[in-house]
Chains A and B, each alone.
Chain A
Amino acid sequence: MAVPAEYYLVLSAGLFCIGLAGILTRKNALMFLMSVELMLNAANINFVAFSLYWGNLTGQTFALFTMALAAAEVAIGIGIILVLYRNFGDVDVTDAVGMRW
């Protein structure tokens, strides 16, 4: 028995909103990174769900791409966080506000 597509969409939307809320409310850069992962995976769920719905492998393939992208993103993100720590002695994003008017 197949689960209807709507449930997957609701799940993915919920996951996305959790990630978004994390980005908007947290100060810790590591939490940012994790929240971004959540949002990416919300998108992945959509890909896979629609792939199943249409009976077509393209969505699943794209999910794999997204994972590779996420891995790269984490690598860069961690690099940024390291630099942030070196410069400010903390990983708080509200410390780095020099790039403004």
Chain B
Amino acid sequence: MTGTTPFAFEFAPAIAALPFVSFLIALAFGDRMPKGGALGGILATAGSLLLSLWVFVTVSGGSAYVHDIHTWTILDAGGALGDVNLHFGLLLDPLSAMMLIIVSLIALLVHVFSLGYMNDEGETGLPRYYAGLGLFTFSMLSFVMADNLLQAFMFFELVGLCSFLLIGFWFREDAPPSAAKKAFLVTRFGDYFFLIGVVGIIATFGTSRFAVVGDAAAAAFPVEAAKVLGVTEGTATAVIPGGMDPQLWFTILGLLVLGGVVGKSAQFPLHTWLPDAMEGPTPVSALIHAATMVAAGVYLVARMYGFYLLSPTALGIIALVGGFTALFAATMGVVKKEIKQVLAYSTISQYGYMMLALGAGGYVAATFHLMTHAFFKALLFLGAGSVIIAMHHNENMWDMGGLKEKMPVTYYTFLSGSLALAGIVPFSGFWSKDEVLYEAFVHGLGTAGTQGTLLLVAYAFGLLAVFFTGFYTFRMVFLTFHGEPRSDTAKDPHGVRWNVKGPLAVLGILAAVVGLVNMVPVKKLTGANIDFLHKWLKGPEALKAQTSVAHYTDGDTSLLHEGAHYVAGTLAGGEVGTVLISAAVSLGLALAGAGLAYRLYNVPEPVEHTDKLGAAKDVLYNNYYQDEFQVFLAERVTMPLAKAADTFDQSVIDGAVNGVSSVSLFSGRRVKRVQTGLVTNYALLLTLGFLVLLVAMAATGGWF
């Protein structure tokens, strides 16, 4: 940081504070305000967006900011660690600045869209709804700006709470409360590991900061970890428990934190909550899936990427889980009937791609896909919301059809989002997904041994998923918008207003063009320096050695090379050839999937083709029996264990306690009979006691 703090950073806390104020206002005065508090939320998120843009511009100017806002307590950890500072802080660098814009922009659009989806549809409980949105936005923005893991964990939990409140918004029906509970419990299961990881990291490094600027006394844990492993030079302060191998211990810590990520980002095997979360209002789904809850997990890995890069094992697991989830979820999306269900599985699948990218060392690819996905997935959800308004809240795609002529704005924006999701050139999703796959491919080729094989397997999963993505995306488009109307509501849909069309238009354009910020294949082919996102993520000078992509992945001295031992390889045609082949294969597969959907479903009277799947049909309809499996785990494994523990507690622990008391009770009841009240008996006992004493003393004293 140079000299004085840039002016924009002084205002950064307000980015999060504004939605919080709107939350309070909606909660307190929402029922007395026009639109049930929506206007406050719109103003607040618009303010956040403006401030975020300002921060973005400032960060672009070469500044970064780490600042402690409030310290709650300073613990004395003793030994080498000294004082441990637990605090709220801000970390503003390229990654968080980018995420702030995404979150506040999508929150703003979701607020506007909610006017159409909630207010115009005459929902009740609107103040509660807008309060929830405000709190959700506040939590996510604070999470994004967090400069330490503990603060991140707290807002991570708050995000989980908000998703619980909003998914269960229609709490008088049966399904939403149970979906909300499921979302809460499943993500909480992962967060439990996260919490242990946070404690472990603080206990190991004495700090949970992601990065530091200037202040030499403070430390950042990814930096310290790199020093411990000798990847970067310097003396590290870290306490490894029990003389364990630091590499192993860091892997364990990384995997513990990953538990929270897997839960929140709905990765296999904790993905089951996400499809159920579709019970919430559609704008909420857009917010959850595009910018807040689900994005939080991936963002967290990106945030502490310097730590994960030190553990090849953790990276391998991330890549494999991500690749597998991408394919796994995509196959389930193929058979769904409800439009939102298809989108739910596509979300899981797309976050799988981001995890794959992170695991394969594609930091830029992952953040790029996070960004493009945020726009096109928000667009698709809002588009689906528009369709649902038109269909009078019927979500079954088999009742739709032919909506193309009736609602052109929705159709064309939805199409833009679908092309991006399927990864068709030149829409945004193509550029980011191609980069994800490219990174996995080249690192899989170049890295020797198990690591490389693992990456290639994950890459194969991801590549296969491209085909399924293309298929289910266009199945959804054709069933919804093409063909003949298959129900009366589809013949005469409900119209939508500007507050629905506006956000759709904004996102539709973004989904089409935002991929242009990082056209790596074009750069590799022509040599033009147009990988703007990559250059921008190289970041300000102050954080060069901490969160910059140059430090992470670029060049021979980067952590990717020194810590994770990844090497990029190429096919026979050199770098250009590899780029071309990778892009051509993924585009070809996407087009093949889309083409199959075109053949099967772009007909006037489409029919279900799922019967052709044979036995696989039931498996897919039942989501690979994952829900049943989890219920089985809960009922057959956890429950007996809990019962056994309960029995142990009741019988052994309580038994010992109760046993002691009942023994004394019983003996007391017997012994009290000695108290006859008869003075002669007392005298006799006294005498006998004296005699016994006398005899005993005589015997030990040696009188006899």
**Chain A residues near B (Cβ < 8 Å):** 20, 23-24, 27, 93-94, 96-101
A24 contacts B680, CB within 8 Å? Answer: yes
B684 contacts A24, CB within 8 Å? Answer: yes
Q: How far is the CB of A81 from chain B (nearest CB, A)?
A: 12
Bound state CA distance, A76 and B566, in angstroms?
102
B680 contacts A94, CB within 8 Å? Answer: yes
Q: Select one of B673, B677, B687 contacting A97, CB under 8 A.
A: B677
A20: chain B residues within 8 A (beta carbon): 687
Q: Select one of A24, A27, A97 contacting B676, CB under 8 A.
A: A97
B217 CB-CB contact with A under 8 Å = no
Q: Select one of B675, B680, B684 contacting A100, CB under 8 A.
A: B675
Bound state CA distance, A99 and B677, in angstroms?
5
B677 contacts A100, CB within 8 Å? Answer: yes
Identify the interface centre among B675, B678, B684, B687: most chain A CB within 10 Å of its CB: B678
B69 CB-CB contact with A under 8 Å = no
A101 contacts B672, CB within 8 Å? Answer: yes
Known: A23-B683, A27-B680, A100-B677. 16 other contacts (CB 8 A): A20-B687, A24-B680, A24-B683, A24-B687, A93-B679, A93-B680, A94-B678, A94-B680, A96-B679, A97-B676, A97-B678, A98-B677, A100-B675, A101-B672, A101-B673, A101-B675
Bound state CA distance, A6 and B673, in angstroms?
42
Give the nearest-CB partner of A23 in chain B.
B683
The 10 lowest CB-CB distance pairs between A and B, nearest first, are A100-B677, A97-B677, A101-B672, A100-B675, A99-B677, A93-B679, A23-B683, A101-B675, A97-B678, A100-B676
Of residues 645 through 704 on chain B, the ones whose CB sits less than 8 Å from some CB of chain A are 672-673, 675-680, 683-684, 687
A98: chain B residues within 8 A (beta carbon): 677
Bound state CA distance, A98 and B679, in angstroms?
11
A23: chain B residues within 8 A (beta carbon): 680, 683
Can you give 22 A-B contacts (C-beta < 8 A)?
A: A20-B687, A23-B683, A24-B680, A24-B684, A24-B687, A27-B680, A93-B678, A93-B679, A93-B680, A94-B678, A94-B680, A96-B677, A96-B679, A97-B676, A97-B677, A99-B677, A100-B675, A100-B676, A100-B677, A101-B672, A101-B673, A101-B675
What total count of A-B pairs have CB within 8 Å? 26
Bound state CA distance, A21 and B679, in angstroms?
14
Bound state CA distance, A99 and B676, in angstroms?
8
Bound state CA distance, A27 and B679, in angstroms?
10
Bound state CA distance, A100 and B676, in angstroms?
6
Bound state CA distance, A96 and B676, in angstroms?
10
Q: How far is the CB of A74 from chain B (nearest CB, A)?
A: 17
**Chain B residues near A (Cβ < 8 Å):** 672-673, 675-680, 683-684, 687
Give the nearest-CB partner of A20 in chain B.
B687
B673: chain A residues within 8 A (beta carbon): 101
Give the nearest-CB partner of B676 in chain A.
A100
B680: chain A residues within 8 A (beta carbon): 23-24, 27, 93-94
Bound state CA distance, A24 and B672, in angstroms?
21
Q: How far is the CB of B424 from chain A (nearest CB, A)?
A: 93
B679: chain A residues within 8 A (beta carbon): 93, 96
Q: How far is the CB of B260 from chain A (nearest CB, A)?
A: 62
Give the nearest-CB partner of A35 in chain B.
B683
Give the nearest-CB partner of A100 in chain B.
B677
Bound state CA distance, A101 and B676, in angstroms?
7
Bound state CA distance, A94 and B678, in angstroms?
6
Give the nearest-CB partner of A32 in chain B.
B679
A101: chain B residues within 8 A (beta carbon): 672-673, 675
Q: How far is the CB of B188 from chain A (nearest CB, A)?
A: 56
Q: How far is the CB of B247 from chain A (nearest CB, A)?
A: 71
Give the nearest-CB partner of B679 in chain A.
A93
Q: How far is the CB of B674 from chain A (nearest CB, A)?
A: 9
A24: chain B residues within 8 A (beta carbon): 680, 683-684, 687
Q: How far is the CB of B683 from chain A (nearest CB, A)?
A: 5
Bound state CA distance, A96 and B682, in angstroms?
13
Q: How far is the CB of B309 from chain A (nearest CB, A)?
A: 77
B687: chain A residues within 8 A (beta carbon): 20, 24
Q: How far is the CB of B580 from chain A (nearest CB, A)?
A: 100
Identify the interface centre among B672, B675, B676, B680: most chain A CB within 10 Å of its CB: B680
Bound state CA distance, A24 and B184, in angstroms?
79
Q: How far is the CB of B666 from chain A (nearest CB, A)?
A: 15
B676: chain A residues within 8 A (beta carbon): 97, 100
Bound state CA distance, A19 and B639, in angstroms?
74
Q: How far is the CB of A47 from chain B (nearest CB, A)?
A: 20
A93: chain B residues within 8 A (beta carbon): 678-680
B677: chain A residues within 8 A (beta carbon): 96-100
Q: How far is the CB of A29 from chain B (nearest CB, A)?
A: 9
Bound state CA distance, A82 and B677, in angstroms?
19
Give the nearest-CB partner of A101 in chain B.
B672
Q: How far is the CB of B95 from chain A (nearest CB, A)?
A: 79
Bound state CA distance, A20 and B683, in angstroms?
9
Bound state CA distance, A6 and B186, in angstroms?
93
Give the nearest-CB partner of B673 in chain A.
A101
A97: chain B residues within 8 A (beta carbon): 676-678
Q: How far is the CB of A87 from chain B (nearest CB, A)?
A: 14
B675: chain A residues within 8 A (beta carbon): 100-101
Identify the interface centre among A23, A24, A97, A101: most chain B CB within 10 Å of its CB: A101
Bound state CA distance, A100 and B678, in angstroms?
8
Q: How far is the CB of B678 from chain A (nearest CB, A)?
A: 5
Q: How far is the CB of A100 from chain B (nearest CB, A)?
A: 3
Q: How far is the CB of B656 from chain A (nearest CB, A)?
A: 28
Q: How far is the CB of A34 from chain B (nearest CB, A)?
A: 15
Give the nearest-CB partner of A27 in chain B.
B680
A100: chain B residues within 8 A (beta carbon): 675-677
B684: chain A residues within 8 A (beta carbon): 24
Bound state CA distance, A24 and B684, in angstroms?
6
Bound state CA distance, A31 and B678, in angstroms?
16
Give the nearest-CB partner of B669 in chain A.
A101
Q: How far is the CB of A38 from chain B (nearest CB, A)?
A: 14
Q: How far is the CB of B252 from chain A (nearest CB, A)?
A: 62
Q: How far is the CB of B242 from chain A (nearest CB, A)?
A: 58
Give the nearest-CB partner of B683 in chain A.
A23
Bound state CA distance, A101 and B687, in angstroms?
22
A96: chain B residues within 8 A (beta carbon): 677, 679
Q: How far is the CB of B670 from chain A (nearest CB, A)?
A: 11
Bound state CA distance, A65 and B672, in angstroms?
38
Give the nearest-CB partner of B687 in chain A.
A20
Bound state CA distance, A23 and B687, in angstroms?
11
Bound state CA distance, A99 and B674, in angstroms?
12
Q: How far is the CB of B317 from chain A (nearest CB, A)?
A: 70
Q: How far is the CB of B668 from chain A (nearest CB, A)?
A: 10
B678: chain A residues within 8 A (beta carbon): 93-94, 97
Q: How far is the CB of A11 from chain B (nearest CB, A)?
A: 20
